[in-house]
A and B are shown apart, each in its own frame.
Chain A
């Protein structure tokens, strides 16, 4: 029963000049346990704001958001977060980074060591435990960030464009990893992305958000994520249905962008 439920979320920012920005307007959704939601949209549509509210880094202006019936009122261990640049602690080694959450909880080091090794194995970083994180490549850093988040066993994993800064090849590998982890752990995941392809590939459900005010524009329920669990991702990308959905969403976003441009020039 640990569903994520949001009711009429509103977020209004005030700029220093006194202008108000309606970042989120009446956002209402429900995410069941074990679902993988990807959120898509042009820049400025409130994706990250939504994620930050869910993580508890921001308090909504109005509305309520609950996880498993408990109102979200600040950051918590049950909601793990993976950031775009990894946000690793570069003064710690890979193993120490992964261990961070457990160490904060003062778990016995003997058991944490075993767990860290397990998780490094899962994300494919076996043997990198003592490497300083600044020597890792971008993809490896994201694997560390993933392991660091997962070792805490959160109910909900929030990913803020985690694969945005990676090259195409690494990105594909990481997408498989995300799917693999989703399957094996059965966690609820919200993933924010810029890439339509990625959103379609990974999202069991996809929200396309629209800007000014930020809102959920359209919702899709898609089969590709489930197929991706046992099928090659490249095959799915060439699937006719996949291509037509991609084109549909792309043109939708294009229209939104053009609308914004029109608003700004007009």
Chain B
């Protein structure tokens, strides 16, 4: 309902915006000249068209429009797919979708194989002459056995009768299929089973089963029943063996030949053993390949063709829906289930995606028992204990209390301090954010903050001092060109897969960027400004703080912006590698279980978070360095 209204809304929006744009063109006067940059300004209505177009593509290629307007279409196409699947092996026998009859192709191939073996054996220097003659003899016999399968005069009456019977069954089906007499009325039992199955059947979508397989419509039932009948016919046909007595006699002879030769061989005569195995396989392939004389299956082939045409014609609206609303693929049947095959498979439907996202946003659901973004009440004591290192208590003079003879421990000052730094005290609780998104955010934030705290002073120092530049340059230049992820295995080994490792990795990423940008900012300070400050009586420290630092701010802030992007990219990849929380972790797990909706949700969340970071920094840049580019 929502999606179908949305589709109409999109169409109206696009038409409306295009009309509005057309009207606007007529009023354009001031910027009539091509090349005037003013011509690219404004155009919110084209933004609407652009986003509508994108949304429409998503809806269309994820087959969500099909689902919205024809919720049962997938089920019907599934039934058609069942018929297609049941006819697959029968059609394969004849040049319907292939170039040759299957029998022709097999005879051609195996004759070639026999010839190849004969050449190979006769030219092989490791075989004795006796063996060569014997093996070639067997191969000649196999070659001779083929005509027994392909000559009409050897065809047994029984075989012919079964083929005729099956041909009639297909013809009957073809005749009755377009009429209302098919499928015949269901028996009470059949109806009961079907209705029971239908009542349990879930809808089309991300519900654990992609496509509901039981037929839900009358047309669908027709195809479902036809597929059942065709499967029976097909099974029966492939049980037919065109083995007449003459052929049986010859193959038995060949088999015993092979067995005799095999028995004569020692276990270490590997070449001979392999050759005999190959020859035996070749014989078996011909034996079970359903080879028939060229004219035997003419009527059967026609019957298959006729039914195929009839079922294609009878599809009617199903075929139209399949062609129009299922772009880039269709629904395929495999055994008892049906599956999406095409973009519908990896491009989740917006309706499903939004539903799953809404579900995941609930703190009780989340992903892997961790909410996406929520809060929990945490005692201040725990936070204090986390922030303050324990050694603060250890360095206080004195000793920790010793238990007295009456079995009591009396706390002293030192142990009380230990209680504080380990968070072992009562305190009120405050809400603390938790969840995958928060974890990822915090890692990027902390990595960045540490990088800035260390990188900016170091970078400025390097920009102003020959020693600092020379001393730290090798260190920075040695690790900076390495892709950050190349450090990940090492960092994770040293600092663990949890927050510390990732924060350190991001710290490394942001550090080099901050050093380089702060250095460029510091060394790019105009000499006249420094001279001016000097002659105005500023000390070194004052020049650093009042001139060089503010003058480097544009570079530093640009560096932060770059570092945020790099950190964000590295973090997601690092979370892919290891960890138990974070948005990258969510995507990696979703990938393992092929939860395409979740994958797209994580992609969306990452995009939004990255955008949020960038907008925030852009706002900060506009606020703190309005003079940038105007100096």
Contact = CB atoms under 8 A, between A and B. Distances in A.
Interface of A: 55-57, 75-77, 79-81, 83-85, 87, 89-91, 100-101, 104-105, 132-135, 145, 148-149, 152, 158
B535 A91 contact: no
A152 B532 CA distance: 12
Interface in B590-626: 625-626
A118 B555 CA distance: 36
27 contacts: A56-B534, A75-B531, A77-B536, A80-B535, A80-B536, A81-B531, A81-B535, A83-B528, A84-B528, A85-B528, A87-B526, A87-B528, A87-B529, A87-B532, A89-B551, A91-B550, A100-B533, A100-B546, A101-B536, A104-B546, A132-B626, A132-B627, A134-B626, A134-B627, A134-B630, A148-B532, A149-B535
Contacts of B533: 89, 100, 104
Main secondary structure of the interface of B (DSSP, over half): helix
Contacts of B627: 90-91, 132-134
Contacts of B397: none
Contacts of B534: 56-57, 75
Contacts of A90: 627, 630-631
B469 to A, nearest CB: 18
A190 B528 CA distance: 17
Leading 4 A-B pairs by shortest Cβ distance:
A75-B534, A87-B528, A101-B536, A77-B537
B526 A148 contact: no
Nearest to B553: A91
A100 B539 CA distance: 12
Contacts of B539: 104
A80 B536 CA distance: 7
A248 B547 CA distance: 44
B550 A89 contact: yes
Contact of A104 (B526, B528, B542): B542
B531 A83 contact: yes
Interface in B543-571: 546-547, 550-551, 553
Nearest to A82: B532
Contacts of B536: 77, 80, 100-101, 104, 148-149, 152
A57 B532 CA distance: 10
Nearest to B554: A91
Given A89-B529, A89-B533, A100-B538, 12 more contacts: A56-B534, A76-B535, A77-B537, A81-B532, A89-B547, A89-B550, A90-B631, A91-B625, A104-B537, A135-B630, A148-B536, A158-B535
B543 to A, nearest CB: 9
A135 B533 CA distance: 21
A56 B536 CA distance: 12
A110 B526 CA distance: 31
A148 B537 CA distance: 12
Contacts of B528: 83-85, 87
Nearest to B528: A87
A237 to B, nearest CB: 30
Contacts of A76: 535, 537
Which of B536, B546, B547 has the largest number of chain A CB atoms within 10 A?
B536
A101 B533 CA distance: 8
Contact of B531 (A87, A133, A148): A87
Nearest to B624: A91
Interface string B494-532: 000000000000000000000000000000001011011
B537 A101 contact: yes
B537 A134 contact: no
Nearest to A133: B627
Contacts of A83: 528, 531-532
Contacts of A89: 529, 533, 546-547, 550-551
B531 A57 contact: yes
B160 to A, nearest CB: 100
B287 to A, nearest CB: 90
Contacts of A91: 550-551, 553, 625, 627
Contact of A152 (B529, B537, B625, B630): B537
Which of A79, A81, A89 has the largest number of chain B CB atoms within 10 A?
A89
A63 B627 CA distance: 43
Contacts of B532: 81, 83, 87, 145, 148
Contacts of B535: 55-56, 75-77, 79-81, 149, 158
A83 B539 CA distance: 20
Contacts of B631: 90, 134
Which of B546, B626, B627 has the largest number of chain A CB atoms within 10 A?
B627
A134 to B, nearest CB: 4
A55 to B, nearest CB: 6
Interface in B405-457: none
A134 B627 CA distance: 6
A59 to B, nearest CB: 14
A20 B246 CA distance: 112
A134 B531 CA distance: 19
Nearest to B630: A134
B325 to A, nearest CB: 59
Contacts of A133: 627
Contacts of B550: 89, 91
Which of A77, A100, A148, A149 has the largest number of chain B CB atoms within 10 A?
A100
Nearest to A100: B536
Interface string B321-333: 0000000000000
Contacts of A145: 532
A134 B537 CA distance: 23
A56 B526 CA distance: 17
A201 B534 CA distance: 30
A85 B526 CA distance: 11
A85 B533 CA distance: 14
